[in-house]
Amino acid sequence: MMIYEKLRKKEATMAVVGLGYVGLPIALEFARSIKVIGFDINPKRVAQMQQNIDPSNELSSSAFDGCDITFTANPDDLKKAQFFVIAVPTPINASNQPDLGPVLSASRSVGQALKKGDYVIYESTVYPGCTEDDCAPVLEELSGLKTGVDFKIGYSPERINPGDKEHTIRTIVKVVAGCDDESREEIAKVYEVVIDAGVHRAASIKTAEASKIIENTQRDVNIALINELSIILNRVGINTYDVLECARTKWNFLNFTPGLVGGHCIGVDPYYLTHKARKLGYHARVINSGRYVNDSMGFYVGKQTVKRILEQGKNILDARVLVMGATFKENVSDIRNSKVIDVIRELTSFSMHVDVIDPHAEPEEVKHEYDIDLLPAPKMGSYDAVIVAVNHKEYMNYTENDFKALMCDDKGVLVDIKGLFRNDIKDLVYWSL
Ligand SMILES: NC(=O)c1ccc[n+]([C@@H]2O[C@H](COP(=O)([O-])OP(=O)(O)OC[C@H]3O[C@@H](n4cnc5c(N)ncnc54)[C@H](O)[C@@H]3O)[C@@H](O)[C@H]2O)c1
């Protein structure tokens, strides 16, 4: 009997390794049809999941209902599984180089549990070649088994978008690859159990790895172009969003907007590709330029805010700024690699006093990660400038009067990164990207 059939008959078990934004939803989705072990190295997170709590705050407790899943932090429990899905983080280090630590450590945990006939599928975003050249040797070393002969490997990139209730695991086409035709078909059949939108069979593991990384690189480079245009249009003295509104009336104008590119995907994945390119002797100019522009935007916004406050004849050392939003994007609690922090750092480098609020972020996490104390509420009537850094739904209905009430005088500056309020502000000094 092949692995797909065994899983369906519950004669084999799937283990999902790494239960974060990606791993937990996929584990729960599978656990509605097959037997699943959810493994994570973080015992605190495991304890929460054992009580039907998603530590990433994406899923409600009803998502755990009717699932055949056992959560564990004990790597020995992985020995009970035959089909492994690895969804651990693939971050970059301080020098913007890939940090393969988690994916190699997860490979070691799976390697020590691996048996003949098992399958190991990587979902973590990596550069083309990582699964076969970096991860498979670890599996072989720990298990003493041979890839493609004793066990099969595969790759299936994850395309979910945190906070997006429309594009979910079931409704996004899943790209799937295996180390040979037979394994690709088996893996595809397993994913078809949970993917309504269908499965796309990739030519090879490297092809599937590359497809994911170019999706995010394409977005990054396109946003970088719009960010650069916004710097130019600011010098011209016109609003970028007004220009985009005009340009977008042409059928083939691409719909990108300027902004801070944070998070652990778009701002990170292109570095995996440029790393691979460099190893192959090619310096990726366009991708690196895009990264440079996008990574500079937080500091640019900070400087523009300082300029606007100075133009009001104020002493910058006495100025107080309110930053609304700290997460890496709207309506999520994730603060990792948030570029709002760059805005705040730029402001504090001028010795300004900065208050930060965010209805979605966890105050302890923000303190731990960035040493910033989130305020539960803004201090009314005290700010020289307000920066709407993240367009959380809670801010959507703000009026000019709401912003005025936050300012200390009638020379208040409103910095609106996403241009949300540009048609509504008449009296305040207004600036957007
Ligand atoms: N979050 C997204 O929207 C998204 C979308 C597409 C792809 N991805 C990719 O998916 C991968 C996972 O991302 P994520 O956002 O789910 O990460 P995450 O940080 O939310 O979760 C990772 C989980 O893995 C656990 N973990 C870390 N090392 C481990 C190990 N060695 N063994 C077992 N568990 C371990 C952590 O404790 C954590 O619970 C990354 O490669 C990311 O680039 C993420």
Give the chain's radius of gyration (CA, Å): 24
Q: What is the domain extent for residue 52? A: 3-205
Number of domains within the chain: 2
Residues of the chain with pLDDT under 50: none
Q: Report which secondary-structure segment, H or E, holds 275.
A: helix 269-279
The reply to whether 356 and 262 lie within a common domain is: yes
Q: How far is the CA of 130 from the centre of ligand 1 (A)?
A: 16
Indicate whether 226 belongs to any domain: no
Domain at 128, CATH number: 3.40.50.720
Q: What is the pLDDT of residue 165?
A: 80
The residue from 184, 205, 226 where one domain ends is: 205
Contact present, 396 and 330 (Cβ < 8 Å): no
Q: What is the pLDDT of residue 37?
A: 98
The reply to whether 193 and 109 lie within a common domain is: yes
Atom of ligand 1 nearest to the CA of 22: 16
User: Is 130 a catalytic site residue?
Assistant: no
Shortest-distance Cα residue to atom 10 of ligand 1: 124
Q: What is the pLDDT of residue 168?
A: 87
Per-residue pLDDT of 255-280, as tens digits, reads 999 999 998 899 999 999 999 999 99
The reply to whether 195 and 242 lie within a common domain is: no
- C-alpha 59: how far from chain center: 16
Cα–Cα distance measured from residue 39 to residue 158, given in angstroms and rounded to the nearest whole number: 18
The residues near 152 (Cβ < 8 Å, ≥ 6 apart) are 118, 119, 120, 178, 179, 180, 182, 183, 186, 187
DSSP string, 333-391: ---TT-THHHHHHHHHHTT-EEEEE-SSS-HHHHHHHH-----SS--TT-BSEEEE-S-
Q: How far is the CA of 335 from the centre of ligand 1 (A)?
A: 14
* Prediction pTM value: 0.94
Q: Running DSSP on this structure, what letter comes out for residue 166?
A: S
| Active-site residue, selected from the candidate residues 130, 135, 179, 265 | 265
Indicate whether 79 belongs to any domain: yes
The reply to whether 245 and 199 lie within a common domain is: no
Q: What is the pLDDT of residue 163?
A: 75
Q: How far is the CA of 17 from the centre of ligand 1 (A)?
A: 9
**Residues above pLDDT 90, as percent of the chain:** 95
Atom of ligand 1 nearest to the CA of 161: 3
Q: What is the pLDDT of residue 377?
A: 97
Q: How far is the CA of 38 from the centre of ligand 1 (A)?
A: 13
Shortest-distance Cα residue to atom 26 of ligand 1: 18
Cα–Cα distance measured from residue 17 to residue 362, given in angstroms and rounded to the nearest whole number: 25
The reply to whether 336 and 267 lie within a common domain is: yes
Given strand 385-388, what is the order of strands in its sheet? 353-357, 320-324, 385-388, 413-416, 429-431
